[in-house]
Structure formats: structure tokens, C-alpha cells
Copies of this chain bind each other. A is one copy, B any other.
Amino acid sequence: MKNILIIGCGLLGSSLLRSIKQKKIAKKIFIYEKSKKNILKIKKLNLPGRIVKSLKEGVINSDLIFFCTPMSEYKNIILKVNNFVSPNCLITDIGSSKTQSSKMIKKFLKKGISWVSSHPIAGSEVSGPEHGKSDMFENRWCILIKEKNTKKNHLNILNKFWKKIGCKTVIMTSEKHDKIFSITSHLPHLVAYNLVKSAQEFEKKQNYDLIKYSAGGLRDFSRIAASNEIMWRDIFFNNKKNITKAINLFIRNLIAFKKDINSQNNKSILKKLVQTKKVRTKIIKLKQDVNKPDFGRN
């Protein structure tokens, strides 16, 4: 039983908070939150934990610190944390890209302080502590990042922590992490944003009222394209090398698809459409999505 500080209490920070409380993982939970709006919401929701007025109060009283802010805020907070943090404390974060932020952390975090990065694969298109849920991480993967200098006992601490929260855990390097998630998460988000943007442009140019006909496919993309803009800007900038490669692969394939359509290449297109179906079956088998048509939505 340790004392835990959560820095940034939005959707994921507040979910973590609820889960830690529910599973009785910490002795004390401290919350550091910059936004006055969020603080009011946390109080109104009567969430567990104590809101600290200064970072110092939270840091000196905690054994384990979670960065749950957008990644672009890490640097400023690290520079402040450096003033109070003791070598007995372990720091982690839940950011969605790792290589760039690792470099930044190495550069700015006080020597002798340990930071082992985590990435629980969970979230939603909505933001703010009012949307957090104690079961947000249940049965989800949590990636733990192993760098050259990562200590085994720190990995063990985090491994235990996330398992108690309800996650399945896996350890990999930041490079492998960033490659995988450039394809399974970052490209899908970018493509969804881009599709909705293209629809908006088309609507404006043609002067058609087309959003009302979105049930045929567009609506699914609009959900992802409603995700938090600060968080996603940070991810796109942080993982730009892998995302650029992913975009190039995607465009190459899309141009090939266009050729198939224009030449009515029956064999080639059917092969593609049949193959992609297999991924859905695999995802359902791996329990990565609900096994209901249309997400059970209607």
C-alpha cells in the first residue's frame, strides 16, 4: 500500500483514481489538477482522493506518481517536480506515444529519479473527470516500456499495479510501441479526422446538407474525430516519424484501391474485401471489441 499522486484528473486520470479507490490499491491518493473547472467537477462528483493545492504537497507525500496530462505539459511539470522529488519515488505516465517523450524525460528529469512509462489502451471520445469510470481499464492491455536503464523492480511494481487495476500487461521498447500504435491507433485517428474534414469541405463546396445522411458510415468516423484535440496533436507531433510512414503506406494502398475500382478489377478487389473481414473475426476472438452487430448500438 503506497501513496499515489495523480497529476491531471481528466477522463483517464479520474478513471484511474476511481479504480485505485475501488480496488484499495493506495493508502492515500493525491490529485493535482490545474483546471479550476475540473476541480469543481471533482468536488461536485465527490471523487475519492485529496486535491492538493501545490505540486510540492503531492510529490513529497507520494511513492508513485502518475502523469495523466497531455504530453505537451510533461516538461513544465517535470521541471517543477524536480525540486521536491526523492529517489525513492517512482514516476510513470499514461501517454500514447513514447520515443520522443522518453528522450525529453531523460533530458529534463533530475538525475537519480526513475520514470518507467505505461500506456493503458483505453479511452473515449469524451473528456473530463465526469466521464471517468472505475472499469475503464478492465481487461485492457497496458504496455510497460523497458528502456536500457529500466530497473526490473520498477517494472515489477508497475506490472503489479496495472494488474490490480484489471489490465493485461506486456513489456516492450518505446520504438516497438510507437511503431505498433502508429498503425493501430494513431493512423486510425488521423484518418477519421481527415475523413470528417473532407466531408465538411465537400458539404461546403456542394452546398449539400449531407451530415444528416451520416448513418451509412460517416457517423462512426465522427466519433473518433471528436477526440480531444490537445491530446491528439501531441501524439501526432510526438510520433511523427512512424505516423508519416503509416500515412505513406495508407496512401499507396488507397491509390491501388482506386485503380482496382476504375479498372473494375473484380478479382483484386474481392480478395482485398474478403481478407479484411478476417481482422474483425480475430478482434472479436481476442475480446478487443463487443461481439454484436453495429457495436450493439441500435
A40 within 8 A of B: no
What is the interface size of chain A, counting residues whose CB is below 8 A from a CB of the partner? 103
Q: Of all chain B residues, which has the CB nearest A177?
A: B213
Q: A212-B286, A237-B264, A293-B131 are in contact. Are A276 and B197 (CB under 8 A)?
A: yes
Cα-based distance from A275 to B193 in the complex (angstroms):
9
- Chain B: minimal CB distance from A252 (Å): 8
Most buried by B among A197, A206, A224, A237: A197
A290 touches B280 (CB 8 A): no
The reply to whether the CB of A184 lies closer than 8 angstroms to some CB of chain B is: yes
Q: Which residues of B contact A243 (CB under 8 A)?
A: 261
**Interface-side segment among A106-114, A116-124, A157-165:** A116-124
A216 and B279 contact, Cβ closer than 8 Å, known pairs A193-B273, A251-B254, A261-B243: no
Main secondary structure of the interface of A (DSSP, over half): helix
The interface-forming segment of A46-54, A57-65, A226-234 is A226-234
A289 and B233 form a contact (CB under 8 A):
no
Q: Kindly identify which residue among B197, B257, B297 contacts A295, using a CB–CB cutoff of 8 Å.
A: B297
A110 to B280, CA, bound (A): 43
A81 interface residue per 8 A CB criterion: no
Report the minimal beta-carbon distance from A263 to chain B, rounded to whole angstroms. 10
Known: A184-B217, A217-B189. Contact between A211 and B276, CB under 8 A? no
Complex contacts, A272 vs chain B, CB 8 Å = 193, 197
* Any B CB within 8 A of the CB of A244: yes
Q: Is A31 an interface residue (CB 8 A)?
A: no
A residues adjacent to B (C-beta < 8 A): 96, 121-126, 131, 133, 135, 140-141, 143, 176, 179-181, 183-203, 206, 208, 210-226, 229-230, 232-233, 236-237, 240, 243-244, 246-247, 249-251, 253-255, 257-258, 261-262, 264, 266, 269-270, 272-277, 279-283, 286, 288-290, 293-298
> What are 20 A-B pairs with beta-carbon distances under 8 A?
A135-B298, A143-B213, A180-B208, A184-B217, A186-B217, A187-B195, A188-B217, A191-B195, A191-B221, A197-B253, A198-B249, A198-B250, A222-B289, A226-B277, A230-B270, A237-B264, A244-B258, A244-B261, A247-B254, A251-B254
Additional 5 contacts, C-beta under 8 A, given A188-B217, A222-B289: A186-B217, A213-B288, A226-B281, A236-B261, A237-B261
